[in-house]
Amino acid sequence: MPVVHRERHRTQHIGWLRAAVLGANDGIVSTASLVVGVAASNATPTGVLVAGIAGLVAGAMSMAAGEYVSVSSQADTEEADIKRERTELAANADNESKELAAIYVKRGLYPALANQVAAQLMAKDALAVHTRDELGISETISVRPVQAALTSSVTFAVGAALPLLVVVIAPTTHLIPLVSITSLFCLALLGALAAYTGGARPLIGMVRVTFWGALAMAITAGIGALFGTAV
Give CA–CA dist 87/97, Å, rounded: 14
Residue 15 or 100, more confident: 100
What are residue 130's phi and psi, to 5 degrees? -70, -35
| pLDDT band with cut points at 50, 70 and 90 for residue 121 | confident
pLDDT of residue 206: 86
- Structure pTM? 0.70
| pLDDT band with cut points at 50, 70 and 90 for residue 215 | very high
Is the pLDDT reported for residue 96 higher than 50?
Answer: yes
Q: How far is CA 61 from the centre of its chain?
A: 16
pLDDT of residue 15: 52
| Contact of 217 with 70, CB cutoff 8 Å | no
Give CA–CA dist 42/36, Å, rounded: 10
Percent of the chain with pLDDT over 90: 28
pLDDT of residue 178: 93
Percent of the chain with pLDDT over 70: 87
User: Considering only CA atoms, which of 80, 83, 101 is closest in space to residue 91?
Assistant: 83
pLDDT of residue 143: 60
Q: What is the pLDDT of residues 173-210, one digit of tens each?
A: 889 999 999 999 999 988 887 777 767 788 887 888 89
Alpha helices of the chain — where are they, by DSSP H?
14-40, 45-91, 93-106, 111-133, 145-169, 175-198, 202-230
| Contact of 164 with 20, CB cutoff 8 Å | no
Average pLDDT, the chain: 82
